[in-house]
């Protein structure tokens, strides 16, 4: 075709092609510049976001004020025989909007200002096992029910010096309480062992660790890759907060199941609740056996959740559970654990009626966390003294 | 349904997708349906009030436009006002007046059995009744034409971004935008997204975190010192600002995304040097409403100083009562009225003696700004107090017990400063350029730094529990 065209037209065509090519190049160059500018902007945004991430990580670590803060996390250490425990000799100040507490862990790894040595003549000891509701980082040591109980026992007794050892550890369930008693607290030469069962989540936690009970030690359930991912997540305070946000978001979706601990209160509980009650019974049976071996007697204390005594809290949680299609039965968890532990035939104190008959029930627990206030600790200490006397653990 | 809930996010995503897909008339139908759903999500039983107010004022306004007899027009206007104010008075103030009268008679030794009704306050009633009242009055005055289309008017009244907490929009601004097809510009989308993000920051990071601090001091079991009260009052000043300005910004941002412009409701009200300036920058839609439909009809500043002062006091006392059915709100309104009267007096004296505050960022202006901030803060103490007795006790503590408690620094002051500082940092930049959109024009690195900070602070420290906005109760 081109050979039949006049030369002037061929020239024009060629110039047009050249212009088109030049235009394409300019367009491509412009596109390239646009793309490069976009990449530069994205890179700038990424650098700024990463810098702010590092800055926030450092700021939160420095400021603390949350359980995920390293200052608080430094109170804990891993233990292959138990899972985790309090770091012997650690100390920290834990501050939130509601409280500011100085915490000290003694050389034996329990919350106490004094170390635990051999028993002195005339000394009698009570070891209190449990989770965060026993540890009570929200109040000064002297205001915990363990310390208050010790003071009351010593005020009432003559010729005997009582020592009440707070062996509670944040995050423990019945199985870890058994491990801790077996490996650590049995050596404290107790005369009485009190197992404080938090009815809110102990059954579910026991179910989750049932394989540990059979194995006699903690097991790692995560795959290596997931484990590494968790390591990274746990090493960053910012990422831990993001994870908490994600959990909250999921729990807010109407289709989400109620929070797992609430499963113990459902009218129709999932199978893991009753399985957890059975595991709790087995763990306490082991604690009791070991306690007998060191010459101690065991008692059980059932600790209710805040909403079981706080009406407003109960209404809010009932509505949450109802939205998810469930029915919350206020005292179901207490009843299930009480019935489930009855075959052990151990003296048992249910704190629910004691707390429920207090005049100002909303003042027994903090409002922004589910732990006892100083007044709540005082009420519990009084109930424990009565229980110890009634069950002949101590003389009147 | 509150803006800071998952429910709203899901609602808006669906509504916005439909909005972008539909033609203009169908958009308006859809927005009316969406707005009624939005309202019903709180309590469907009060939809009747909203619909009733819409129907009555639509037809009254059309009658006012057609009628020529002045007497009949006046009666129609009075009928509409009686309907709207009667509805507002019954639902908002019945319990208040009944209890106050009973208490008054009890002090005289008379036990009277009033009719006791547990009247619920329909959310947003103060906002939409004020909008329909201004619409009817504007038509009566001949300032605007009535809406031709009922759906357009129903959307004007019920438009979900402003429905439950304002801004109190004028028909002259919103109705033309509803009536004509809307185009959404890229700039509007960018500005809308920024306002939504900034609004969430003001609400979820600033207001909700400060609320926790404030509640610990104003709560029933608190035993604060005077310094605790002072810090908590500062915190409340920023809490109520973050709460309400945040809501207004989310409303504006959401509207911009739909191509609708709402008026600015807050313009850096704590950077002012006089009470008059404060009210030109705080809850602008309410203060201009009170000016145009109450203060000026009462006579405004015509008729001498005494009448002006009287008009100011009446306007501000009623403005206080608008905020809630409690004596502390009335006291707050009276306090604001007194502050305005005193400030006018000082300005007049200063003018006669040639006092002038230098322009720009000068020390006299900064000092005056600080004084004004504290005058405003005392007003917030009156506003926030749980009762008149608590107000009296806290006022006493401020004078006689200005010492720190064990928790003043660690649990109050430090968290308060850490929460307010990021807001102020951006605010100073915005105020110097006179617009909340100023960060959009900042150099790229600064812009990204602000976006990143807002994102992280809301994500990590924002309250995701869906706390109610303070102004919902009004």
Scanning A58-97 for CB atoms below 8 A from B yields: 60, 63, 95-97
A chain contacts of residue B443, beta-carbon cutoff 8 Å = none
Residue B315 lies in a domain: no
In this structure, is residue A89 part of a structural domain?
A: no
Are both A229 and A160 inside the same structural domain? Answer: yes
A372 DSSP assignment: B
Q: Which two tokens stand for residue A99?
A: 């409280």
E strand or H helix that includes residue A166: strand A161-168
Over residues B29-73, the pLDDT tens digits come to 999 999 999 988 877 888 888 899 999 999 999 999 988 888 999
**Shared-domain flag, residues B144 and B220:** no
**Do A57 and A148 belong together in one domain?**
no
What domain range includes position B426?
187-273+357-473
**Is A146 a domain residue?**
yes
Residue B249 has pLDDT above 60, yes or no: yes
In this complex, the residue of A48, A95, A96 whose CB is nearest that of residue B449 is A48
Cβ contacts of B453 on chain A, cutoff 8 Å: 52
Q: Do residue A38 and residue A156 come from a single domain?
A: no
Write down which residue in B182, B212, B232 finishes a domain. Answer: B182
Q: Domain tally for chain A? A: 2
Tell me how far the alpha carbon of residue A229 is from its chain's centroid.
20
- Dist. CA A334–CA A352, nearest whole Å: 8
User: At B120, is the pLDDT very low, low, confident or very high (cuts 50, 70, 90)?
Assistant: low
Looking at the structure, do residues B31 and B114 belong to the same domain, yes or no? yes
Over residues B425-446, mean pLDDT: 90
What is the tens place of the pLDDT at every residue in B322-335? 887 778 888 999 99
Nearest to B213 among A41, A97, A249 (CB): A97
- Mutation target to probe the B interface, by most B beta carbons within 10 A, among A38, A42, A45, A102 is A45
Residue A313 to residue A307: CA distance in whole angstroms: 5
Say if the Cβ atoms of B452 and A56 lie within 8 Å: no
Residue B262 in any domain: the answer is yes
The active-site residue out of B162, B283, B323, B427 is: B323
Residue A264 predicted with pLDDT over 50: yes
Q: Measured between CB atoms, does A141 come within 8 Å of chain B?
A: no
Shared domain check, B208 and B132: no
Instruction: Report helix, strand or coil for A62.
Output: helix
Q: Which residue would you say has higher pLDDT here, B166 or A258?
A: B166
CB-CB under 8 Å, B212 with A97: yes
Among A62, A81, A98, the domain-final residue is A62
Asked if the Cβ–Cβ distance from A45 to B216 is below 8 Å, we say no
Long-range contacts of B63-71 (CB under 8 A, 24+ apart): B64/B136, B64/B139, B64/B140, B64/B146, B65/B139, B65/B145, B65/B146
Mutate to test the interface with A, among B456, B458, B459, B465 (most CBs of A within 10 A): B456
Q: How far is CA A327 from CA A28, A321, A335, in A?
A: 64, 6, 16
Q: What is the pLDDT of residues A82-106, one digit of tens each?
A: 989 999 999 888 877 667 788 999 9
The DSSP secondary structure of B406-423, one letter per residue, reads TTIIIIIIHHHHHHHHHH
The token pair that represents A97 in the structure block: 């909007």
| B176/A69: higher pLDDT | B176
Phi, psi torsion values for A101, nearest 5 degrees: -130, 135
Q: Which of B150, B182, B214 is the last residue of a domain?
A: B182
Residue B301 lies in a domain: no
Burial class (CB in 10 A: 0-12, 13-18, 19+), B42: middle
Alpha carbons A5 and B96: distance in angstroms, whole number = 97
CB-CB under 8 Å, A98 with B453: no
- The two three-digit tokens of residue B96, written as one number: 């208040």
Rg (CA), chain B: 23
Q: Is B216 a domain residue?
A: yes
Predicted pLDDT of residue A3: 40
Give the whole-angstrom CA distance, residue A230 versus residue B416.
33
| Chain length of chain A | 396
Cβ–Cβ below 8 Å for A41 and B464: no
Q: Same structural domain for residues B83 and B113? A: yes
Restricting to A residues 18-47, those with a Cβ less than 8 Å away from any Cβ of B are: 41, 44-45
Q: Is A139 a member of any domain?
A: yes
Output the pTM of the full model. 0.73
Q: Tell me: cis bond preceding A155? Omega within 30 of 0 counts.
A: no
- Residue A48 sits in the same domain as residue A128: no
Nearest CA among A381, A283, A272, A386 for reference residue A336: A272
Over residues B23-28, mean pLDDT = 93
Burial class (CB in 10 A: 0-12, 13-18, 19+), B315: buried
User: What's chain B's average pLDDT?
Assistant: 87
CATH of the domain at A375: 3.40.50.1110
Given this model, what pLDDT does residue B30 score?
Answer: 95
Subunit contact B456:A56, Cβ cutoff 8 A: yes
Q: Report yes or no: B163 and B2 within 8 Å, Cβ to Cβ.
A: no
Question: Whose structure tokens read 């660790």?
Answer: A209
Among residues B182, B212, B242, which one ends one of the domains?
B182
* CA–centroid distance for B5 within its chain: 20
User: Can you give the pLDDT at residue A66?
Assistant: 62
Burial class (CB in 10 A: 0-12, 13-18, 19+), B243: buried
Q: How far is B445 from chain A (nearest CA, A)?
A: 7
Chain B partners within 8 Å of A60 (Cβ):
460
The CB-side HSE value for B368 (13 A sphere, CA atoms) comes to 20
In a domain, B431, yes or no: yes
Inter-chain touch A56–B460, beta carbons under 8 Å:
yes
Q: Which of A24, A39, A62 is the last residue of a domain?
A: A62
Torsion of CA B33, B36, B42, B43, to 10 degrees: -120
**What percent of chain A has a predicted confidence (pLDDT) above 70?**
83
Q: For residues A178 and A37, state if they share a domain.
A: no
Residues B254 and B154 in one domain: no
User: Is residue B176 located within the same domain as residue B200?
Assistant: no
Q: Are residues B94 and B127 in the same domain?
A: yes
Asked about B323 being catalytic, the answer comes back as: yes
Tell me: the pLDDT tens digits for A324-350? 678 889 999 999 999 999 999 999 999
What's the pLDDT at B45?
A: 80
Residue B137 in any domain: the answer is yes
Please tell me the predicted confidence (pLDDT) of residue B163. Answer: 82
The answer to whether the Cβ–Cβ distance between A368 and B212 falls below 8 Å is: yes
Please check whether residues A57 and A137 belong to one and the same domain: no
Residue B319 near residue B288, CB atoms below 8 Å: no
Same domain, A55 and A120: no
Q: Which residues of A touch B216 (CB under 8 A)?
A: 97-98
Nearest to A204 by CA among A175, A244, A168: A175
Contact between B415 and A95 using a beta-carbon 8 Å cutoff: no
pLDDT in tens, B62-108: 999 988 888 999 999 999 999 988 888 877 776 666 676 666 666 76
Show residues of chain A in contact with B466, CB under 8 Å. 252
B289 assigned to some structural domain: no
Residues B112 and B14 both lie in one domain: yes
Ranking A43-52, A56-65, A367-376, B330-339 by mean pLDDT, the lowest is A56-65
Whether the per-residue pLDDT at A2 is higher than 50: the answer is no
Whether residue B258 has pLDDT greater than 80:
yes
Q: From CA B374, how far away is CA B385, in angstroms rounded?
A: 16
Residue A20, pLDDT > 90, answer no
> Does a structural domain hold residue A302?
yes
pLDDT at B254 exceeding the cut of 90? yes
Annotate B404-433 with b (16+ C-beta within 10 A) or e (fewer): ebebbeebbbebbeebbebbeebbeebbee
Q: Are residues B102 and B152 in the same domain?
A: yes
Give yes or no: residues B46 and B122 share one domain: yes
- Residue A249 has phi, psi (to 5 degrees) of -60, -45
A67 has a pLDDT exceeding 70:
no
Q: Does B154 share its domain with B211?
A: no
Number of structural domains found in chain B: 2
Residues 6+ apart with CB under 8 A from A381: A145, A148, A149, A152
Note down the domain range covering A48.
2-62
Per-residue pLDDT tens over the stretch A268-305: 888 899 999 999 999 999 999 999 999 999 999 999 99
Same domain, B370 and B447: yes
Record the tokens describing residue A101, joined without a space.
């507490």
Nearest to A48 among B407, B445, B466 (CB): B445
Mean pLDDT of A370-387: 94
Question: Can you spell out the DSSP letters for B295-352?
Answer: IHHHTTT-SHHHHHHHHHHHHHHHHHHHH-SSHHHHHHHHHHHHHHHHHHHHHHHHHH
- With pLDDT > 70 as the criterion, what percentage of chain B qualifies? 92
pLDDT of residue B285: 92
Residue-wise pLDDT tens digits, B193-247: 999 999 999 999 999 989 888 888 887 667 788 999 999 999 999 999 999 999 9
- Provide the β-strand partners of residue A86: A76
Q: What's the average model confidence in pLDDT over A5-23?
A: 61
């Amino acid at each position: 075709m081109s050979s039949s065209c006049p030369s002037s037209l061929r020239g024009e065509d060629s110039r047009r092609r050249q212009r088109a090519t030049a235009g394409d190049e300019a367009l491509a160059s412009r596109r390239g510049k646009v793309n490069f500018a976009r990449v530069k902007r994205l890179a700038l945004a990424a650098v700024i976001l990463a810098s702010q991430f590092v800055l926030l990580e450092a700021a939160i670590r420095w400021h603390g004020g949350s359980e995920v803060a390293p200052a608080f996390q430094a109170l804990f250490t891993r233990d292959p025989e138990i899972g985790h425990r309090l770091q012997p000799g650690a100390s920290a100040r834990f501050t939130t909007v509601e409280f500011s507490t100085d915490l000290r862990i003694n050389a034996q790894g329990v919350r106490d200002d004094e170390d635990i040595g051999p028993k002195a003549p005339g000394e009698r000891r009570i070891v209190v096992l449990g989770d965060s509701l026993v540890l009570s980082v929200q109040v000064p040591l002297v205001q915990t029910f363990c310390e208050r109980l010790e003071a009351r026992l010593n005020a009432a007794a003559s010729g005997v010096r009582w020592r009440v050892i707070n062996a509670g550890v944040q995050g423990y369930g019945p199985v870890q309480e058994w491990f801790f008693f077996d490996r650590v607290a049995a050596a404290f030469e107790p005369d009485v062992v009190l197992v404080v069962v938090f009815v809110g989540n102990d059954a579910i936690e026991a179910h989750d660790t049932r394989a540990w009970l059979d194995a006699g030690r903690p097991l790692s359930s995560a795959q290596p890759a997931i484990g590494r991912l968790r390591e990274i997540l746990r090493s960053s305070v910012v990422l831990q907060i993001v994870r908490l946000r994600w959990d909250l978001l999921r729990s807010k979706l109407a289709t989400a199941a109620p929070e797992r601990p609430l499963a113990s209160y459902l009218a129709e509980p999932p199978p893991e609740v009753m399985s957890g009650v059975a595991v709790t019974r087995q763990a306490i049976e082991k604690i009791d056996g070991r306690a007998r071996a060191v010459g101690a007697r065991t008692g059980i204390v059932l600790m209710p959740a805040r909403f079981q005594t706080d009406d407003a809290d109960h209404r809010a949680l009932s509505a949450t559970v109802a939205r998810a299609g469930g029915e919350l039965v206020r005292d179901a968890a207490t009843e299930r654990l009480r019935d489930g532990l009855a075959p052990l035939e151990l003296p048992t104190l249910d704190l629910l009626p004691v707390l429920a008959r207090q005049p100002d029930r909303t003042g027994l627990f903090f409002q922004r966390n589910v732990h006892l206030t100083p007044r709540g600790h005082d009420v519990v200490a009084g109930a424990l003294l009565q229980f110890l006397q009634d069950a002949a653990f101590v003389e009147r | 349904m509150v803006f800071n809930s998952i429910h709203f996010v899901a609602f808006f995503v669906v509504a916005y997708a439909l909005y972008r897909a539909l033609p203009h008339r169908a958009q308006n139908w859809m927005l009316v349906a969406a707005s009624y759903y939005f309202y019903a999500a709180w309590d469907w039983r009060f939809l009747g009030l909203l619909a009733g107010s819409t129907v009555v004022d639509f037809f009254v306004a059309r009658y006012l436009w057609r009628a020529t007899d002045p007497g009949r027009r006046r009666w129609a206007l009075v009928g509409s006002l009686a309907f709207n104010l009667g509805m507002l008075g019954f639902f908002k103030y019945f319990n208040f007046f009944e209890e106050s009268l009973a208490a008054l008679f009890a002090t005289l030794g008379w036990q009277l059995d009033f009719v006791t009704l547990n009247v619920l306050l329909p959310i947003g009633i103060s906002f939409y009744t004020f909008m329909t009242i201004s619409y009817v009055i504007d038509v009566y005055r001949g300032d605007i034409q009535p809406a031709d289309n009922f759906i357009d008017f129903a959307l004007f009244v019920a438009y979900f971004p402003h429905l439950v907490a304002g801004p109190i929009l004028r028909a002259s601004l919103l109705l033309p935008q509803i009536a004509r097809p809307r185009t959404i510009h890229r700039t509007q989308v960018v500005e809308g997204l920024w306002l939504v993000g900034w609004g969430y920051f003001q609400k979820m990071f600033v207001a909700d975190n400060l609320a926790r601090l404030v509640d610990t001091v104003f709560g029933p079991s608190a035993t604060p010192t005077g310094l605790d009260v002072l810090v908590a009052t500062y915190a409340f000043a920023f809490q109520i600002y973050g709460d309400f300005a945040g809501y207004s910004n989310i409303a504006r941002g959401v509207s911009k995304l739909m191509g609708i412009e709402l008026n600015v409701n807050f313009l850096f009200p704590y950077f002012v040097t006089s009470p008059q300036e404060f009210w030109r920058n705080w809850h602008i839609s309410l203060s201009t409403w009170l000016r145009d439909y109450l203060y000026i009809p009462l006579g405004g500043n015509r008729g001498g100083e005494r009448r002006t002062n009287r008009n100011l006091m009446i306007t501000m006392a009623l403005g206080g009562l608008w905020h809630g059915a409690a004596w502390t709100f009335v006291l707050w309104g009276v306090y604001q009225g007194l502050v305005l009267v005193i400030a006018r007096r000082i300005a007049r004296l200063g003018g006669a003696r040639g006092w002038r505050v230098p322009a720009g960022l000068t020390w006299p202006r900064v000092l005056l700004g600080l004084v004004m901030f504290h005058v405003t803060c005392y007003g917030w103490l009156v506003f926030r107090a749980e009762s008149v007795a608590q107000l009296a006790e806290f006022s006493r503590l401020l004078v006689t017990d200005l010492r720190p408690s064990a928790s003043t620094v660690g649990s109050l002051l430090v968290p308060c400063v850490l929460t307010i500082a990021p807001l102020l940092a951006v605010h100073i930049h915005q105020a110097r350029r006179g617009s909340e959109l100023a960060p959009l024009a900042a150099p790229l690195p600064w812009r990204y730094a602000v976006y990143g900070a807002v994102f992280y602070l809301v994500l990590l420290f924002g309250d995701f529990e869906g706390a109610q906005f303070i102004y919902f109760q009004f």
